[in-house]
Structure 1
Amino acid sequence: MLIEIKGKADSIKRCMRRPLSSCMRSITLSLTLLDLAGSVALLLWGTHMVQSGIQRVFGAGLRALLGRALHGRWSAFLAGLSITAILQSSTATGLMAAGFAAAGLVDLVPALAVMLGANVGTTLIVQVLSFDVSAASPALILAGVLMFRRAANTRTHDVGRTLIGLGLMLLALHQLLRLMTDQEDASVLSTLVHAASSVPLLNVLVAAGLTWATHSSVAVILFIMSLCAQNVVPPDAAFALVLGANLGTAINPVLEGTLSTDPAAKRVAIGNLLSRATGVVIAMATLGPIGRMMVIVEPDYARVVADFHTLFNLVLAGLFMPFLSPYAALLARLLPQQQSHADPGRPLYLDPLARQFPVVALGNATREALRLADVLGDMLSGARAVLADGERRLIGETRRRDDILDSLNAAIKTYLMSLDPEQLTGHDRQRLNEILTFVVNIEQAGDVVDLNLLPHATKRLKRRLCFSKEGEAELLEMLDHLTANLRTAASLLMTQDTRIARILADEKVTFRTAESAAKAAHFDRLRSGRPDSAQTSALHLDLLCDMKLINSHIVAAAAYPILERDGALLVSRIAANDSHPSLDENLSASGLPPRGSFPSR
């Protein structure tokens, strides 16, 4: 009886333990997943801070360097490698190269070579972090915080951001290793990844999806390295995950690429994806012997993951570099240049993916802004044809171009306003304001053509009025002058040259003088009793005023921001004279508050 009672008691105890044990396992699993997610999030945020900080410090200079290096495949390869090693983002380098190629500034072969170099460049930071350097994390974070908070210099401020990000990456890696060193947590993680680790293709797909979602192959590779270092996943599974991460980082530029409907604009992104996919297929076929050989050569599992990542990209570059010319020709046949655009008001260069890289996004916005200058140039040419030849059919076509200006202006402003202000340096903010000033003034100049100049020209045609030969020559000469100033403004937007800005600003004085001379000549013809001048007097003067206003917008679009930046722009054209009371004195005498007392709008 006692034995039976004791057996029933033991049975009851076991039944009571099972729910408690199951509950504890659930709690342990939840806490482990929470710790894992937090460590991975810290790693991603640290990577983001490093990338954004370096882009702020070196972004504009590196873009210019890349533009100069794109004249040969090997120089482009080295430029892509070095720039990506600094920026820690092959996506940013690829967007720059794709932008140059889409604009026709470089051939497709150097652009593809840049991508091969960028793929190798991303492996360098992984190589450095594969060593145990976590002890430097507190020092890096401390130095970064001091530079970030104390420094008045913007460049030093951004270097501090970079150091903080690097310290957070090291701290996150240390946390991951600690998490997986704990036997209980490691067993839980091993159970979670055991099913996937036995299927290499599933590993590739999972890692590719994770890299696409996080937009950071570096962070994913470091996470894989931590898993393998603690035997959570075997080396073969880690190698398959590395292949997936390399594939996933090439997906983003294709899926979220340029807004252009022209297939040729996606040649670089698709070419990079196809080369990566080809490399993954070849590596998967030889994964077994390569993996065993690498484990023998490098027994350290953290180092062997980094070495495999580097070896894959080096071999891929070695395979494709000799065949880039036929490969580029194949891409050109598969993705031909689109000959026409259905909607001329649709932006072509405002790539949404580039918004995470301000230096690239601002370059894209600049290229789109130049389209506004081209459209305004077409409007001025149409207006000239209407005045010179009476081309009535051009009036409607020219006025429709103002709708294109409105659409592009709205798209550019929306694009620029979507940039993260925290990622913009002082130089970036200044450049953003310059682009906005340009597009707003060019759009307003188009409004003057549409609402003022063309209606006046239409009125002349309807009333069958004819300008005098001298007056018509003056008007056409001033229109030609406007077109030349517009070309100068477009060039100035790209070069940012103070000398060109002064030349364009002086054109306002020249234009004002020419307008005054034209008015004086017109009044002289009126005094002489010329009937043609008398009939068109009001129209002639209105057209002169319209052209003067258009020229003012063109000068303000490009010259004034540069001169104001350099402190070469005067506040007022009115000369100072001590014998006359100042404006503040006149306001005070009138009972009005001084200028500084008016509330700003």
Structure 2
Amino acid sequence: MEEDLFDFWKFLAGIGIFLWGMHQLENAIKELGGKSFRNLLQKSTNTAFKGILIGALITAILQSSSLVTLMVLAFLGAGVINLKNSIGVILGANLGTTITAWIVATLGFKLSVADFAMPFLGLGSLLYLFSSSRPVLKNIGAFAVGFGLLFLGLDFMKTAIEAVAEQIDLSVFHAYGLWVYLLIGIVVTALIQSSSAMVVIILSSINAGVIGLLEGAVLIIGANIGTTITVALGSLNGSADKKRLALAHTLFNVITGILIFIFIKPLISYTMHIFNIADPLMELVLLNTLINLMGIILFFPFINKLENWLQHRFMSSEPIGISKFIKNVSPKVPEIAITALEKDMQFAFDRTISFISSVWKESEEQKKQISIWRRILQQPQNLMEQYAQIKILEDELTNYHIDLQEENLSLEDAERLTSLMLTLRTLVYASKDLKDVLHNIKEMEEKEDALTQKYYHQLKQYSFEFLREIKTFLETEKIDGLHPDWIEKNAAQYNIWISNIYQDYKTYTQNFPISTMTNVLKQVVSSLDNLGSASVHFKMETRKVIDKE
């Protein structure tokens, strides 16, 4: 009895050590090459098929489908990849994660696992402890420790199961049918939250003779279904996109699992005959790979329809806020978060330019539909609402910036983030300058004297010409050699206006105060100066990022 208890705790310790090793491996590889993998994922997923290939490759290397899922969610939220291609990556990740089973079946049951793990644990621990000032060596040490823990945990589980193999009789379950093993696979995987660990348990059980190949294959199917529960639970309080991906992942594993379960016996017979495999462990890991591969083949033709269907799900879970991108991206992935921030900065430019245009422009259709008195009363309120939206967007971007600062940013990312916030402040100043004289501008619009109308139309025409230049500049991809002299141009125009206005006031009959007129001129020029400065700063910073890539 004492021995049984000891074996149980050894088995439990094996699961814990294995999971901890997986965690260490994930963190070490993320630090060593996380940015490179993110760049690969970003640049190589322009189609669903490429998404499947890249998802499988990155997951096979990182040994973590959860990490790949996190990256996919971040890219999806940032608008870097669409939902269809992100589904492709998730399908590929399911295939890539089967590499763990191949490693374990190939090495874990062919060698003295404990002896194999010791050099990795010993050398890795020393490298990790004595290389704190050298991040690359430290992470290589962490990788070695994780690899050693992985196989030490496997050894604990294997020996614990072997010790009690003769005492376990699972024949009692046979009377209930294979669905019992399916249920066991689902429940245990959901409890330990790792399909890789469950696969190791199944392989250990087959190696010890506790279960046969058929029962092991059904447990594998259950493990594939059970792993979706963790993702589904994690998405409950998440964004709509996170729930959509979790649902796609669940549908893929559940539908594939049920179909394979129905035909599991002929599938085993067919694969053993075709591939002529005598080793049940190798047969099982092959089945694990084939299950996911067949699921991909089954789902791939329907990805477009699945995307359309998912787009109409979880509409109530769409994130609240004016921003379009940052609300969908966790600050925990800084590089992607900053990309989302850049996209929302472009959105802030659109909002600001729209506000400035609205100050000067009102369509003829609106004028016909709304009386002059209602227009005088309502238009400022509409414009103030636009300005309020810009301020709310500023608050959202600023709060996101604060959250990002708490992350471990590289010097390059920190400088990029600071530059974006400087652009944001300058952009908001452009709106505020105009907002402060909004009532004066509307008053000028309604004045009938020739002098006021003259300067109102000059300001209006000059502002629209300036906005056209800004839009052209922002939309131009190649800006080498472009150095807009907007501030000098605005200063020259302002001096012309100020010089002329005092002369005009001597000759024109007017009823608009000259002090108010000069203040409007000053604020309009200041607004355009800030808009121009923000545009140049933003475009140059974006150019630097593209050049580095």
CA distance in 2, matches of 1:448, 1:285: 65
For residue 322 of structure 2, give the secondary structure of its aligned residue in structure 1. coil
CA distance in 1, matches of 2:461, 2:536: 23
Is residue 2:346 matched to residue 1:367? no
For residue 150 of structure 1, give the secondary structure of its aligned residue in structure 2. coil
Which of 145, 161, 168 in structure 2 is aligned with 1:180?
161
The aligned runs of 1:112-511 (5 Å cut-off) are 112-130=87-105, 131-132=107-108, 133=111, 134=113, 135-145=115-125, 147-148=127-128, 149-150=130-131, 154-183=135-164, 190=168, 200-212=178-190, 216-257=194-235, 269-288=246-265, 290=267, 298=277, 300-321=279-300, 324=301, 326-333=302-309, 335-336=311-312, 343-345=320-322, 350=327, 358=333, 362-364=335-337, 366-367=339-340, 369-389=342-362, 392=380, 394-406=382-394, 408-409=396-397, 412-413=400-401, 416=404, 421=408, 429-430=410-411, 432-433=413-414, 436-437=417-418, 440-441=421-422, 443-445=424-426, 447-449=428-430, 451-462=432-443, 467=455, 469-481=457-469, 506-507=483-484, 510-511=485-486
**What residue identity is the alignment partner of 1:52?**
N
**What residue identity is the alignment partner of 1:239?**
A
CA distance in 2, matches of 1:182, 1:449: 75
Normalised by the length of structure 2, the TM-score is 0.75
CA distance in 1, matches of 2:134, 2:546: 18
Is residue 2:18 matched to residue 1:43? yes
- What per-residue deviation string (whole Å, max 9, x for no partner) do you get for residues 86-105 of structure 1? 12233444555566677776
CA distance in 1, matches of 2:81, 2:542: 30
Residue range with higher mean Cα deviation, 450-459 or 121-130: 450-459
Change (3 A) 1:444 1:270: same
- What per-residue deviation string (whole Å, max 9, x for no partner) do you get for residues 81-129 of structure 1? 2222112233444555566677776676655444433322211232022
The aligned runs of 1:93-104 (5 Å cut-off) are 93-94=68-69, 96=71
Name the structure 1 match of 2:369.
Answer: none
Normalised by the length of structure 1, the TM-score is 0.69
**What residue identity is the alignment partner of 2:252?**
S
Residue range with higher mean Cα deviation, 446-455 or 371-380: 446-455
- Kindly state the Cα deviation for residue 454 of structure 1 after the two structures are TM-superposed: 0.9
CA distance in 2, matches of 1:381, 1:442: 17
Structure 1, unpaired ranges of 5+:
1-24, 422-427, 492-498, 568-601
CA distance in 1, matches of 2:327, 2:193: 19
Is residue 2:32 matched to residue 1:57? yes
Q: Root-mean-square deviation (CA), in Å?
A: 4.5
- Kindly state the Cα deviation for residue 384 of structure 1 after the two structures are TM-superposed: 2.5
**What residue identity is the alignment partner of 1:370?**
K
Structure 2, unpaired ranges of 5+:
363-375
CA distance in 2, matches of 1:262, 1:398: 27
CA distance in 2, matches of 1:342, 1:150: 43
Residue range with higher mean Cα deviation, 429-438 or 235-244: 429-438
- Kindly state the Cα deviation for residue 49 of structure 1 after the two structures are TM-superposed: 2.0
Partners of 2:186 and 2:223 within 8 A in 1: yes
Alignment size in residue pairs: 511
Residue range with higher mean Cα deviation, 290-299 or 76-85: 290-299
Which of 59, 63, 72 in structure 2 is aligned with 1:84?
59
CA distance in 1, matches of 2:544, 2:55: 35
Residue range with higher mean Cα deviation, 206-215 or 123-132: 206-215
CA distance in 1, matches of 2:183, 2:328: 26
Which of 521, 524, 529 in structure 2 is aligned with 1:548?
529
CA distance in 2, matches of 1:316, 1:542: 63
For residue 182 of structure 1, give the secondary structure of its aligned residue in structure 2. helix
Name the structure 1 match of 2:489.
Answer: 514
For residue 345 of structure 1, give the secondary structure of its aligned residue in structure 2. coil
Change (3 A) 1:328 1:418: farther
What percent of counterpart residues are identical?
A: 19
CA distance in 2, matches of 1:98, 1:384: 36
Change (3 A) 1:414 1:350: farther
Change (3 A) 1:543 1:219: farther
**What residue identity is the alignment partner of 1:383?**
I
**What residue identity is the alignment partner of 1:329?**
K
Partners of 1:259 and 1:350 within 8 A in 2: no
